[in-house]
Amino acid sequence: MAQRTRLTWFWAVQSLTLARVGLTFSFVVISPFPDMWAVTGTMYLCAVLIDFFDGRLARAKGVASKFGGAFDIFGDRYFLVISCLYVGFRGVNLIPLSVILLRELYSVALRMVQINGIGVMLQNRKLGGVVHALIALGTIGFIISPSQNPSKWFYALFYIIAAFYVFYLPYSILRSRQRIRTSITADLCKTSEPHYRSSGA
């Protein structure tokens, strides 16, 4: 019975993540219509709230998994990419948006590399949550101003995040360099073993 309950909670969490992806896709479809900004904003805000709760719910119910984590990362990055594309079309300079997306892609790539089940990239969940919340806030500022440019503060949020990443990305690489070096060395040793065996034979 306990296993069935955990399984129910597991799929409930995955359904929330899937709903977030669906809401983000619906946002893409409806956002070109300025008159429907209220619907667009509601969908976007619901996606933000789900992003806040799904991971916490999984950990609270003890149903966190590698599958759920990968699915959540996909939902997070899909949501973030769509947010950046939207504000880019609305006039935010592409340079800060490119910096933000570059860092996010780097983060996803290194999360896939693990040593004994531990990712090589040092992570700060709270910091990532703050950055994603600021991106969502900036995007909402554009959504609620469909027919005019929003306050300059909403533009500034993306420049601030990009400027932060310009310094934080090298710092995170520096802090993770030992794990990255260990991962590369281990992979090279594995790939060289068959070569040595065949040579010795």
Domain with residue 26: its CATH number is 1.20.120
Name the nearest CA neighbour of 123 among 135, 137, 105, 110.
Answer: 110
Query: Does residue 199 fall inside a structural domain?
Result: no
The total number of structural domains that make up the chain = 1
Cα–Cα distance, 134 to 164 (Å, whole number): 12
In a domain, 200, yes or no: no
Whether residue 115 lies inside any domain: the answer is: yes
Domain that holds residue 120: 2-192
Q: How far is CA 38 from CA 43, 107, 187, in A?
A: 9, 33, 51
The pTM assigned to this predicted structure is: 0.82
SS3 118: strand
The answer to whether position 76 is within a domain reads: yes
Residue 59 lies in a domain: yes
CA 148 to chain centroid, in Å, comes to: 29
Whether 117 shows a pLDDT value over 90: the answer reads: no
Q: Residue 96 falls within a domain, yes or no?
A: yes
How many helices and strands in the chain, by DSSP H and E? Answer: 6, 2
Inform me whether the pLDDT recorded for 108 exceeds 60.
yes
In a domain, 11, yes or no: yes
- Lowest average pLDDT, out of 65-74, 81-90, 109-118, 127-136, goes to 109-118
Strand (E) or helix (H) holding 115: strand 114-115
**Percent of residues, the chain, with pLDDT higher than 90:** 43
In a domain, 176, yes or no: yes
pLDDT tens-digit map of 34-69: 899 999 999 999 999 998 888 888 888 888 887 777
**Hey, CA dihedral for 93, 98, 100, 101, is it positive or negative?**
positive
**pLDDT the model gives residue 153:** 93
Q: What digits encode the pLDDT tens for the residues 68-98?
A: 778 888 888 899 999 999 999 999 999 999 9
pLDDT at 116: 62
